[in-house]
Structure 1
Amino acid sequence: MSRKLFGTDGVRGRANSHPMTAEMALRLGAAAGRYFRRDGSAAHRVVIGKDTRLSGYMLENALTAGLTSTGMNVLLLGPVPTPAVGFLTRSMRADLGVMISASHNPADDNGIKFFGPDGFKLSDEAETAIEAILEAEIVPARPENIGRARRIEDARGRYQEYAKTTFPAGLRLDGLKVVVDCAHGAAYKVAPEVLWELGATVVPVGVSPNGRNINDRVGSTHVETAAEAVVQHGADVGICLDGDADRVMILDEQGRVADGDQIMAMMAGRWAEEGRLRGGALVATVMSNLGLERFMQARGLRLERTAVGDRYVVERMRAGGFNLGGEQSGHIVMTDYATTGDGMIAGLQFLSEMARTGQPASALTQQFAPVPQLLKNVRYQSGSDPIGTSNVRKVIDDAEARLVGTGRLLIRKSGTEPLIRVMAECEDEQLLAEVVDDIVGAVEAAV
């Protein structure tokens, strides 16, 4: 059975449109509750976190109704980062964790992603099983076994305290001025407070959520606002999180951005020197730059590539016993500390290296010279397959032939939005632009 609802990162869509409706959230909660409930009693629990989107209230209530109807006790965390849900699912001995968020997407979108009792995102097999329950008749709990719901008032504080334990005990951030952009999202209180408690002078950006402004010209996908603040305030570094704080971009003292590849290179090199890089490898996706691969090879290390999606990175890490991986987009997964991408803890790792070495951010963010890379997106109608048309296939084949020996090409459908992503890498920037534009033109014509 193929999955119809779940994409690469849970279920996503436009709020109040299928599948992000209250009705679907209720049924999805009931199906997940039925899947995770081990017997007929009400002694099972689920934690639910959310970001700051207006639709989070609606989906939170609907999920709660569905879950309690099948005998699950619900613990409501309120606005917390996605990695906090993974952490608290394990810490609170829950059977299931749920995060309501569409990550870096606009405010009108929302999503639902599930974590197992180990704090890791569910496998494809588990999501397929939940969909099968959803499509059948969901058996509710007996009246005496209906679950309860309660709010956990200190959920944010629990995660904050844990995050600080990942920062070296002998270091402080005294003397560092840090711009932190929280994208008006889930970390709007957590991140500034953690940095201040560690001694930094904090310049907060994107910390006034109103339900509608999450990721709006702020955050890891819109770093310009934070870059201006870095320059204006003479800051030493900028940390840009996305709406649910599971990804990060770093800005140096001049406001220049370093993506996930550069951050992973810095961490991999440092961890290898300390003997902490398990398996002598870094796990990244097919989107990561060829320059990162060369950086690893030059140090006798390996880059293991996976399909796009941090869940696939984590699956490979767990299967191979690796402890560092991530995506170019800024998901940095450190299984020594977290079960999923954690933007704040990754940012703390970068800041600890600044504090330890005394080097400026610009010296730490330029770990390798990236191979020129170009990515363009084409929006398409859900359910169609523009990549499969004969004309598009011919243009792609021609582009691959032109790139043989000089670069690589990657074309895929986004797992979270109705977009065709066209990416190429090539030392010859003119050829790079030509092949990407040719493919984009063909896809647009097919659309």
Structure 2
Amino acid sequence: MPRIFGTDGVRGLANGPLTAELALDLGVAAARVLVDRGGYAGQRPLAVVGRDTRISGQFLEHAVVAGLAASGVDVLRLRVLPTPGVAYFTDALGADVGVVISASHNAMPDNGIKFLARGGVKLDDALEREIEAHLGEDWDRPTGGDVGRVRPYAPTVEEYAAHLVRTLDGGPGGLARGRSAGPLRVVLDCAHGAASEVGPRALADAGVEVVTIGAEPDGLNINDGYGSTHLERLQRAVVDHGAHAGFAVDGDADRCLAVDATGAVVDGDQILAVLALAMRDAGRLVDDTVVATVMSNLGFTKAMEAAGVVVRQTAVGDRYVLEDMRAGGYNLGGEQSGHVIMRDHATTGDGLLTALHVLQRMVVTGRSLRDLASVVTRFPQVLVNVPGVDKDRCDDAALLAAVAAEESRLGEAGRVLLRPSGTEPLVRVMVEAATTDDAQGTADRLAGVVRERLSL
């Protein structure tokens, strides 16, 4: 059968390709694969399940829970909670399986199902293929007292907010101490998503004066004009409220982008740089190394090199960043999109955790977010998508020669990246250069070569 797992779980139109029947089957298959890998002695198999605020999450959650319980797995329902919160409880409660019902930053009609293994870590490709292989198979169904029990886990928001605040050096209220001018005023955009309740609570408990927008979910408005993919309202709110900074998470709050006091956007590369220098200065950055992707801006890599921080680059996707971090023992990594992974405190990207630690850096240094983010001078970046081409022939000799010629012309003041799409007959041409005009011209020339050489 074709693969149904994408780069971040199973995702699609809810009640279209992503049906209740598929959700139930995935619950059964995941239980068979992940629980069969052993549990704690004397403990019944346990799963935790959380979701974002999409209305379709209600029926999909019940379907997944039914599949898990029918497989003999006890289930704790965490209700609405960010993806990193589900990962935290998967580990903290000793669960065999964690499940997140969310389509992250996608529009409301979509939804998704993500599985986490013991310890709260995302599944590798081999485990996902194994789950797929069990879909639709006959299986021995437990009966009687061997079926799973389903219970709510009530203190989810309180415990997760407390965990986030504990990661700060000052603990509860720590971001307010030592500030004679009063607490930081921060605008938090929750995207009408999974952070709508826990996000404002965590920041307030840390000692921040919180102005909240995008925190009135109705099941239909998640990511609709709010959140990390729509920063305009956050920019206006920061200026209107005279805030020191603003942060926007996406629907499942695993990513975070920021806005400084002037309303200027601070992207994931800049956030990663701020945290890398904070951890380096505190002696906490393993091997003075940060893990990023090939899409990180050249300005970020040059800033880190100037600061003596090594940058390792991976393929695009937070799962690949995390794989490299785990393999090398590194504790900080992330993407330009705002996925930031702080492995000392989390197993996934965590938008609220990221925001808290950026605020801690502001308090410790007494510097504004604009000043801290200025360590990265972003190079103009242009991305051109070239559809209708054979993406598997990017090793064409003439195309590679054209890329090499442009790279030679740009020198150290730019770079070129060709990325075949993972799902479409499309090649992405990304160019960074000293000026926008140079980047655009280079990208357009190379896009023409791609069309000519790789035409279907």
Of residues 193, 198, 211, the one that matches 1:190 is: 198
Give the letter for the 2:440 counterpart. Answer: A
What corresponds to 1:212 in structure 2? 220
2:66 alignment partner AA? A
Asked if residue 160 in structure 1 is aligned to residue 161 in structure 2, the reply is yes
Change (3 A) 1:362 1:341: same
Q: Which position in structure 1 is the counterpart of 2:369?
A: 361
The corresponding residue for 2:90 is 89
In structure 2, the partner of 1:35 is 33
Q: Is the counterpart of residue 23 in structure 1 residue 21 in structure 2?
A: yes
Matched residues in 2 for 1:133 and 1:42: separation? 24
1:73-84 maps to which residues of 2 (within 5 A)?
73-84=74-85
Contact (CA 8 Å) 2:193, 2:250: kept in 1 or not? yes
- Structure 1 counterpart of 2:237: 229
The 2-side partners of 1:443 and 1:110 are apart by 34
Q: Which amino acid aligns with 1:201?
A: E
Change (3 A) 1:138 1:293: farther
CA RMSD of aligned residues (A): 2.7
The one-letter amino acid paired with 1:4 is R
Cα distance, 1:198 vs. partner?
Answer: 2.4
Counterpart mapping for 1:2-401 below 5 A: 4-18=3-17, 20-38=18-36, 43-134=44-135, 136-169=137-170, 171-173=174-176, 174-376=182-384, 386-388=390-392, 398-399=402-403, 401=405
Distance 1:332 1:254, change over 3 A: same
The structural deviation recorded for 1:29 is 0.8
TM-score (norm 1): 0.91
Distance 1:189 1:416, change over 3 A: farther
Structure 1 residues 195 and 310: alpha-carbon distance in aligned structure 2, compared to 1, 3 A threshold: same
What does the per-residue CA deviation read over 1:285-334, in whole Å, with 9 as the maximum and x for residues that have no partner?
11111121112222222100111111111111111011000111001100
- In structure 2, the CA distance between the partners of 1:309 and 1:104, relative to structure 1 (3 Å rule), is same
**Match for residue 416 of structure 2 among 387, 403, 409:** 409
User: Which segments of 5 or more consecutive residues in structure 1 lack a partner in the other structure?
Assistant: none
**SS at structure 1 position matched to 2:122:** coil
The answer to which of 88-97 and 392-401 deviates more is 392-401
- Distance change in 2, residues 1:393/1:439 (3 Å): farther
2-structure distance, mates of 1:76, 1:116? 17
2:390, 2:425 within 8 Å by CA — same for their partners in 1? no
SS of 2:114's partner is: strand
Q: Distance in 1 between matches of 2:12 and 2:273?
A: 33
Q: What CA distance in whole angstroms lies between the structure 2 residues aligned with 1:121 and 1:51?
A: 18
Extract unaligned runs of 5+ from structure 2: 177-181
Q: Distance in 1 between matches of 2:106 and 2:252?
A: 10
Segment of structure 1 superposing worse, 405-414 or 343-352? 405-414
SS state at 1:283 partner: strand
Shift of residue 233 of structure 1?
Answer: 1.1
In structure 2, relative to structure 1, the CA distance for the partners of 1:212 and 1:435 (3 Å cut) is: farther
1:202-254 per-residue CA deviation (whole Å, 9 max, x = no partner) reads 11110011111111111111111100001111111001111111111111001
* Greater mean deviation of Cα atoms: 353-362 or 227-236: 353-362
Q: Answer whether contact 2:389 2:451 (CA < 8 A) is retained.
A: no
* Distance in 2 of aligned mates of 1:121 and 1:43: 22
Please give the per-residue CA displacement for 1:357-393, whole angstroms capped at 9, x wherever unaligned. Answer: 2211211121121222123557x7xxx8653479x99
> Following TM superposition, by how much is the alpha carbon of 1:260 offset from its aligned partner in structure 2, in angstroms?
1.0
Shift of 1:126: 1.1
1:415–1:196 Cα change, 3 Å: farther
Partners of 1:7 and 1:416 within 8 A in 2 = no
Q: Secondary structure of the residue that 1:140 maps to in structure 2? A: coil
Work out the CA distance in 2 between the residues paired with 1:94 and 1:216: 33
> Whole-Å Cα distance in 2 between the matches of residues 165 and 301 of structure 1?
27
Matched residue of 1:5: which SS?
coil
Partner of 1:429: 436
Matched residue, 2:179: none
Q: Is the 8 A contact 1:237 1:361 kept in 2?
A: yes
| Distance (Å, rounded) in 2 between the aligned partners of 1:400 and 1:213 | 46
Q: How far does residue 72 in structure 1 lie from its aligned partner after superposition?
A: 1.0
Q: Output the CA distance in 1 between the equivalents of 2:156 and 2:31.
A: 22
Amino acid at match of 2:373: T
Identity %: 45
> In 1, Cα distance between the equivalents of 2:287 and 2:220?
44
Conserved 8 A contact 1:7-1:415 = no
User: Would the alpha carbon gap of residues 188 and 303 (structure 1) be closer, same or farther in structure 2, given more than 3 Å must change?
Assistant: same
Alpha carbons 1:387, 1:393 under 8 Å: kept: no
* More deviation, 425-434/59-68: 425-434
CA distance in 1, matches of 2:266, 2:428: 21
Alpha-carbon separation, structure 2, partners of 1:31 and 1:328? 34
| Whole-Å separation in 1 of the counterparts to 2:398 and 2:109 | 37
TM-score (norm 2): 0.89
Q: Distance in 2 between matches of 1:52 and 1:416?
A: 27
